Copies of this chain bind each other. A is one copy, B any other.
């Protein structure tokens, strides 16, 4: 089934079929009908390869996956799903590139004209994929900030803003314990960990709060929560493993919002999955995805010269895991 068949059935030329589909030139109402009926009747779909060859547009966005996709999988899937949906809205498809392929993967999909643009997920501070991005044939959007972002397009959640909001929420305490990302995450060299921590510590210093930063190991969550609570901490800022932390807290008999204050960096779904819903800042993976694609399409459309970083603003939703201010200190 080709556009030639459609043309024959409709009794028009092949190029007319093409123009009906693209809308790139005026068509009389009558022939448009003819063509559209033929298309319908034959259930015609244009051949992607041929179209890409002739138009120099693949209608494909490549997505470079994170290195360990199974950790933090729920957030990642939200990300990937939203990218795919946003791409489809603009009649594009999504091609997956594993992180295992590294730099070669990007070169391959860009060089072989397999995509029109690339989204690179989970960018590291020192990321080889960032270094070669400048000489790729296609616009590339980085989710996360590499150290050298000269001439790159980057987008990320505003972890600094999130840190400030969360610390401020607990600033009536003398001491705040941060249950932070564990070594497995830190050693991945994700620069948002540092951004979050620095902003948290600055805010704490400015507000006269003492911050205890406790990296939480994947295999010791419950143990560490207990230690921290035994040591007397009653103000918890959780950046990861929220479900396990909350259950560990409850296991000690203490109740968030009653016996202690707890805030978190967590999706709305996670924050509201407990008897006591948690005051939290969400990373908004879907917003980040949408904006990433929006900027990419702006670049493809030839508008938007703006290179550089963009932040998805942080916002805090108060729920019942924090007592009304004034009840402490």
Contacts and interface: CB of A to CB of B under 8 A. Distances in A.
Interface string A22-65: 00000000000000000000010111111111000010100001
A99 to B, nearest CB: 9
Q: How many copies does the complex hold?
A: 2
A101 B113 CA distance: 25
Contacts of A84: 65, 96-98
Interface in A110-136: 111-114
A70 B81 contact: yes
A183 interface: no
Interface stretch (A165-173, A244-252, A296-304): A244-252
A108 B93 CA distance: 11
A109 to B, nearest CB: 7
Given A113-B47, A251-B247, A95 B93 contact: yes
Interface stretch (A72-80, A189-197, A318-326): A72-80
B69 A81 contact: yes
B52 A81 contact: no
A201 B45 CA distance: 49
A247 B222 contact: yes
A74 B243 CA distance: 15
A95 B100 CA distance: 17
Contact of A53 (B47, B94, B251): B47
A88 interface: yes
A207 interface: no
Contacts of A247: 222, 244, 247-248, 251
Contact of A73 (B76, B219, B243): B76
Secondary structure dominating the interface of A = helix
| Interface residues on chain A, size class | 35 or more
A88 to B, nearest CB: 7
A231 interface: no
Interface in A234-262: 243-244, 247-248, 250-251
Nearest to A220: B275
Contacts of A206: none
Indicate the member of A80, A100, A101, A269 with the most B CB atoms within 10 Å.
Answer: A80
Given A49-B50, A88-B101, A243-B244, A96 B112 contact: no
A254 to B, nearest CB: 12
A96 B94 contact: yes
Contacts of A243: 243-244
Contacts of A49: 48-53, 58, 113
B98 A273 contact: no
Interface of A: 1, 43, 45-53, 58, 60, 65, 69-71, 73-74, 76-78, 80-81, 84-85, 88, 93-98, 100-101, 107-109, 111-114, 218-219, 222, 243-244, 247-248, 250-251, 269, 273
6 contacts: A46-B112, A49-B49, A49-B52, A60-B95, A84-B98, A218-B273
Given A47-B113, A95-B96, 7 more contacts: A49-B52, A52-B52, A53-B53, A69-B77, A69-B78, A71-B74, A93-B114
